[in-house]
Structures are given as structure tokens and as C-alpha cells.
Amino acid sequence: MFQLYLKFLIPLAVLFYLIKKNPYYQSYPAMLPGMFFVSIALMISMIKYSKVTNNLVHQVLLDPTGTELTFVYKNQMFRWMRNDRPEQNIMIS
């Protein structure tokens, strides 16, 4: 799961570094608010992406009797933080 979020975390780390050092202050002062708004937009897109990764299935297990499927989701830590179950059982008729 960490590798899926690297496409958001690396640009966020670069933006936070640039905001901290602020190398564009003398040449282009409007860049600081721009970087701030881009970092907020990047965090919002990361939250939207977490809705997509919330339903990624890691394993599908079949009961030995063949009457029940168990879906084990990949991001168990985030599901636990949202009070979602990390596993879901479905009865097969």
C-alpha cells in the first residue's frame, strides 16, 4: 500500500521542502501561495485515491464446504481506522 501512495507522498515531500526553504521568494513571491494550494490539492486527491484503494482485495478464500466466500482486503490498517471490517463474508447459494 505504501508504494501505491508514493505518487502522492514524493511530490508532497518536495513541496514541503520548497515551502520550508522558499527559494522563489525574491524572484517570484506569488509562488509560495501557489505551492501551498498545490499541496492542499495534492492532499485532497490522495484522500480521493484512498476511496479507490479501500476496496482492493488481497485474497479471496473459499470455505471448505463451498458455501462461503471470504474477501480479505489489502489496506487493513486504514479499514480498521475507519471502523470497516478487514474481511467480508459472502454466502453462496
Give the pLDDT mean for 27-38.
85
Q: Residue 12: which pLDDT band, with cuts at 50, 70 and 90?
A: very high
Most confident of 24-28, 71-75, 78-82: 71-75
Cα(82)–Cα(10) distance, integer angstroms = 25
Give the pLDDT mean for 17-43.
85
What's the confidence (pLDDT) of residue 82? 73
What's the confidence (pLDDT) of residue 10? 94
Q: Residue 14: which pLDDT band, with cuts at 50, 70 and 90?
A: very high
Helix (H) or strand (E) holding 90: strand 87-91
